Structure 1
């Protein structure tokens, strides 16, 4: 008798989670380059074929966490309150994440989360592979900004800048915590850095991200010769 579709999907999701959790645990304990896919599969009690059916590359075993969040910025823009500018919605979401000590902001005292972030930064193949996930996030955010009224060029450039800024802020926070600061000690400066970063973004792209017309420029008065 065939299993119901819902039960099969639940089992698949559990298998996927088991493989990913096993891989990350091994990578953090031994180092990403020191653990083979064969070891991950054996420890998770699945075949290599099953592992690759869920994760096409070794790097995907780690970066699947980012895949689950790659459209988060787009979701924030689409779900923002009426009248709220996209950049303001993204700013508020980042400040809230900092307040919650979200590991994605680099502002966390959780040892495993910090080790995970550091492993990605220190492993070249992971850093390179991460660019693919970042590109998909840019695509999603750019589409959301186009829906908000921005023209394609402005939408794409804004999306790229926002996601690069968020990543760099997270790296800055992680670096400070690695140097000995606690998340609580870093929080005020992390907020100031985020606020300044979004002020700079707003000054550069401003309301163009929502399709509003540019502010009129002052008329140039000819200089006398």
Structure 2
């Protein structure tokens, strides 16, 4: 049901524009009532961002499911590079016409961009919790545990921001007319540099 309603909504939004399609029209296209639609999707923007729902805890899953001898950052870097290689739309490196149309809808609609940040905040929270567990969990000392939890949240925020900026740069170039194949070498270099900067911190700017 989620997928069917979301697909119907996105088709209408791509045809007419997000702001020009009322929720009632989406409900009619999906053959459900408006109250039923809102039981599945609390906000109109969620009809579009449903496609990101499976990715909200993706970074956390990567950290939790990594091999025992691989660090969280190494696992996340490897996962992002693998995404670039298979042209995962989440990395921004995808020139499929349908993905391009979806991204233009998303990034061209301010309310969707604003709603996307809420999804990214949930990603940061899930990743922060996973990073905290990766470092050994709670020590029993409240002050120490609070400090470590904050450190994990700060790290998660930086990692999610890096992934977002890398994806946006890839998307910017593809939207300007470059092919995914042409952008891929630079995208790999940029990703490796960005994760290297995460490892070294902000020493260059201190």
For normalisation by structure 2, the TM-score amounts to: 0.90
* 1:150-165 paired onto structure 2 within 5 Å: 151-165=148-162
Q: Paired residue for 1:76?
A: 62
The alignment's C-alpha RMSD in Å is 1.2
Once the two structures are superposed, residues 120-158 of structure 1 have per-residue CA deviations (whole angstroms, 9 ceiling, x without a partner) of 211111111111111111010000000011721221111
Deviating beyond 6 angstroms after TM superposition, the runs of 4 or more aligned structure 1 residues are: none
Report the structure, 1 or 2, having the larger helix content.
Answer: 2
Secondary structure of the corresponding residue to residue 68 of structure 1: helix
Q: Shift of residue 71 of structure 1?
A: 0.3
Q: Shift of residue 118 of structure 1?
A: 2.1
Q: Which consecutive residues of structure 2, in runs of 5 or more, have no partner in the other structure?
A: 137-147
Structure with the greater alpha carbon radius of gyration: 1
1:47 to 8, 33, 37: 33
Q: Structure 2: how far apart are the matches of 1:174 and 1:139?
A: 25
Please state if 1:184 is matched with 2:181. Answer: yes
* 1:80-119 paired onto structure 2 within 5 Å: 80-119=66-105
Q: Structure 1: how far apart are the matches of 2:157 and 2:16?
A: 34
For normalisation by structure 1, the TM-score amounts to: 0.82
Q: Paired residue for 1:200?
A: 197
The answer (yes or no) to whether the contact 1:80–1:86 under 8 Å persists in 2 is yes
Please state if 1:24 is matched with 2:10. Answer: yes
Q: Paired residue for 1:170?
A: 167
Q: How many residues align?
A: 191
